[in-house]
């Protein structure tokens, strides 16, 4: 899974769940770390706004999600904005490289079809 500092809220939670489920490696850079939700923020008289944290996520073991830190990648690949500006995404390229390698190491095994039932 690709992650980076632009990933926040669900972009923090989903990689966390992905890792805990053992689905595969997280590739890229640490997520933003902003998972505390906001709601009911009234506008100010000048049109500005104040946001107030109102709800937070906790883990199944009863500990709080690391708010303000985010999710660290398994394979750290810092974003290279100079390359990105010319259409080269070094994080995506690394992810493709890893997926191809993992596929060769552990190719998909199609499940065997069970015999047809006799009814």
Q: Evaluate whether 91 touches 28 at the Cβ level (below 8 Å).
A: yes
| 28 pLDDT more than 80 | yes
- What tens digit of pLDDT does each residue of 39-78 get? 777 889 999 988 887 888 888 899 888 788 899 999 999 9
The model's pTM is: 0.76
Q: How far apart are the first and last CA of the chain?
A: 44
Say what percent of the chain tops pLDDT 90: 61
What pLDDT is attached to residue 54?
Answer: 81
Say what percent of the chain tops pLDDT 70: 100
- What tens digit of pLDDT does each residue of 73-117 get? 999 999 999 999 999 999 999 999 999 999 999 988 899 999 999
Q: Where are the alpha helices (DSSP H) in the chain?
A: 10-21, 81-84, 90-105
The residue with greater pLDDT, 34 or 40, is: 34
CA distance 72 to 31: 7
- Which residues, listed in sequence order, are joined to residue 64 by a DSSP beta bridge? 58
* CATH number assigned to the domain covering 2-78: 3.90.226.10
Domain spans, the chain? 2-78
């Amino acid at each position: 899974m690709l992650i980076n500092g632009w990933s926040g809220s669900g972009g923090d939670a989903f990689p966390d769940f992905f890792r805990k489920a053992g689905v595969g490696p997280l590739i890229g850079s640490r997520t933003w770390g902003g998972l505390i939700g906001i709601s009911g923020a009234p506008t100010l008289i000048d049109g500005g706004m104040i946001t107030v944290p109102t709800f937070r996520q906790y883990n199944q073991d009863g500990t709080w999600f690391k708010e303000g830190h985010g999710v660290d990648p398994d394979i750290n690949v810092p974003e290279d904005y100079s390359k990105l500006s010319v259409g080269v995404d070094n994080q995506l390229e690394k992810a493709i490289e890893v997926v191809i390698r993992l596929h060769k190491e552990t190719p998909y095994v199609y499940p065997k079809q069970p015999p047809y039932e006799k009814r």
